[in-house]
Amino acid sequence: MSTITQLHIQIDERKDELIDLLKTLISFKTPAPPARNTEEAQQYVAAFLCEKGFAIDKWDVYPGDPNVVGTLKGTDSDAYKSLIINGHMDVAEVSPDEKWDADPFTPIIQHNAVVGRGAADMKGGLAGALFAIQLLHEAGIVLPGDLIFQSVIGEEVGEAGTLQCCKKGYSADFALVVDTSDLHIQGQGGVITGWITLKSDKTFHDATRRQMIHAGGKLLGASAIEKMTKIIHGLQELERHWAVMKSYPGFPAGTTTINPAVIEGGRHAAFIADQCRLWITVHFYPNETYESVAKEVEEFIGNIAKGDLWMQENPPQFEWGGTSMIEDRGEIFPSFEVDPDHAAVHTLIGVHSMVLKEKPLLDVSPTVTDGGWLADAGIPTAVYGPGKLHHAHAVNERLDIDELVQYTKVMVSFIYNWTHKKKGDQ
């Protein structure tokens, strides 16, 4: 009997330990917003990895919100494939009026599932990967390729702890994001937020409105709020054009949406509104970039502005993205495609098929993850984690225990097989 088969048997026999590990991770209250609350949880992961021989890099992305990266150097790093396992420690916020069956951060077992905030998104993925690492360590298995474990912050609020890992230079031959995918192997579309601002350097009293809108007034002025309605109509026209002209396998037609999410404008009732700001959220396909999509929006709205006499003098201004929905009200999630011919994808398909006795689905996530930043850094990437998306962020969020057990078996095999693959092999 092979060592990996023996580890699979251990996972079945020791599933209570696996469940307890997930319960422990859930018990750390790490919702974002408010964020700034992952220090204790991240220190737990750092200590866990340190005990397994990992070198630890821990630094604050924001005060109280550190990233943890553990690196287990392989015995022959130059010759064998390296792997990044990536997951986020923050979880979705919990509103005071949500009717949970128990405290969201005191996990319970209910209908063969672990119930608690973050069970599906995505502390289940973290727990399965960490338990796989524990079993490999206990078995005395030495990996020839490097294994890098990233426990990051800020995914729920666009703060992209993963981006900070990329900026620090962490890289590998493949990255697996253990976020919610129901054990599908997934790429994703992307999201970018933006602010469109109309602002005049002239201010006018409310009593001058007649001169702006009726014959003979001879005052070139306008309400920035009313002009913003032209831009909103233009965004709707562009959205419909995209729905007709763009498509991507696995996505329903019209997934490329432009949501006018928030509008702010005006001073008070005695003024003509001299400023209006519109906050939009734009979804795009895996074969598009956030830069190209932002450019399309700017060009289309710019042409609308050229046809308006007031906007010719007061053209719309654009601000795209941001590093935090909390700090600067903006975010970016790059898109990425999974290469079905990549050797790591073949390896993952093989071990999944062996454990679950069926081939995994290769498709695209209807949501977004930090995987886009890893792919944006040039690392071949896929999302593969336990949990169903309709349980993520939900009241009584849950993760099926059998799915967690199967996932952990896949992770044991995948970590072992991929880091034992020579760099020249395809």
* Domain residue ranges in the chain: 3-188+336-419, 190-320
Say if domain 190-320 classifies as CATH 2.130.10.10. no
pLDDT, tens digit, for every residue of 45-77?
Answer: 999 999 999 999 999 999 999 999 999 999 999
Q: So what's the pLDDT on residue 112?
A: 96
Residue 1 in this model has a pLDDT that exceeds 70:
no
Confidence (pTM): 0.94
Residue type, 45: V
Q: Is 218 exposed, middle or buried (0-12, 13-18, 19+ CB in 10 A)?
A: exposed
Shared fold status for 3-188+336-419 and 190-320: no
Q: Is 155 a catalytic residue?
A: yes
Contacts made by residues 12-19, CB under 8 angstroms, sequence distance 24+:
12/405, 15/401, 15/405, 17/131, 18/127, 18/128, 18/131, 18/404, 18/405, 18/408, 19/109, 19/114, 19/401, 19/404
Distance, in Å, from the CA atom of 403 to the CA atom of 240, rounded to the nearest integer, reads: 39
Residue type, 78: D
Distance, in Å, from the CA atom of 384 to the CA atom of 348, rounded to the nearest integer, reads: 9
Residue 207 in this model has a pLDDT that exceeds 80:
no
Query: For 110-123, what is the mean pLDDT?
Result: 97
Q: Which of 39, 90, 400, 403 is catalytic?
A: 90
Residue 264: band (very low, low, confident or very high) from pLDDT cuts 50, 70, 90: very high
Enter the tokens of residue 319.
């601000």
Q: Which of 155, 173, 179, 331 is catalytic?
A: 155
Percent residues over pLDDT 70 in the chain = 100
Distance, in Å, from the CA atom of 399 to the CA atom of 122, rounded to the nearest integer, reads: 10
Residue 245 in this model has a pLDDT that exceeds 70:
yes
Distance, in Å, from the CA atom of 125 to the CA atom of 387, rounded to the nearest integer, reads: 8
Enter the tokens of residue 196.
């469109």
Q: Which CATH class is domain 3-188+336-419?
A: alpha beta
Q: So what's the pLDDT on residue 211?
A: 82
